[in-house]
Structure 1
């Protein structure tokens, strides 16, 4: 299954109410959204027809997240006395807006992708789904930090190992989409600061010169899940139901984590 076909179906099974995209390019992935969206890219050149209420932000993702209220568009970006049905308190205090679905496809160096993940997680919740693109390079050349090929993933594949080592509380799923795979992350916890605190330490360890020593398990796609099998898994409906009911993390995450792991083990 190709990446955009998988993303189209992912929008459906997550029944997401909000969407964030980092790395817009020509808009081929953004055009899949039908909900209030924010799309960030310092040099986008959208040529696709966009069919959602979108705020296109021409900026780096770092600059975007440094804004006082980066998700304002998802609440209408207006006076808090308006659109109470969107979750606003009449006295002007907003219920926290979260990103139901996020797609990270920005700069293809792991340190940028890691910062993007940290920033996205701060605006996510346990029932959010975070997707990172280009996680399965097909060759060492394609995974180089210094781009010298037409198709290029860079070394963002390292994010999988970083999350598994430093954030075992998350569930990470490598998906065998074409051409270069994706990583889905479940169980986001905006209160967890481990990656932020260890960022410099992580970068110092993983920033190594080319050629990159890409694990054989990555090149051979050993630990991946079939995209259709993942889309057909039974945990999506309980996830959406719990999210829409506003179930808090203490009640919702562990049952979902168990369902996720059971679904993965059965493949």
Structure 2
């Protein structure tokens, strides 16, 4: 299934969501597209960011979510998984997964965790990324990915913000998922892309909450993807805008 969708008529997003508030956000005719967990700082409480499209409206089967699943529990739901986000708990380093779940299973869809960049690249031979996440575990940069059979996605594990557009244009691909993370060299972008022509797009990173909607509206575009990352005492957002 391609991640490239027609532009929605309506969309909205929210952040600083507590786990017991997720269910109260859905409005009639709107469908959850992604649920991303984050912590402002290492010791801060986990929060969520979410965005919604009128993707099929009332005719679309509702999506549910699974929060705080370990790898085994998350893997058991892989055929229904539409998005994945990862939280590494500060006290014990345990990895916990948040999934958005489709109503019906998608045969052949699988979830892979604790991947290195080379391992994820190798996994995409004949497979497409449905969604992915990046996190640090035991000092290493790791990736989790939901994949399914299909034309292989293109994966860029570490692009500087200023290099992203030229790198993707050189491959003639459209970014569909972007995850920003901070490194000693500054912000880096892990990007999943698909071959596409004729779609205008922009990648945003290191955006504060006040400017998320403004960045999309500035291009008269809609969010294809949205992610949140804690950095120091704040939280920064990254996303893909398309038109």
Higher strand share: 2
Q: Higher helix share goes to which structure?
A: 1
Instruction: Please report the TM-score for the alignment, with normalisation by the length of structure 1.
Output: 0.26
Q: Which has the larger radius of gyration?
A: 1
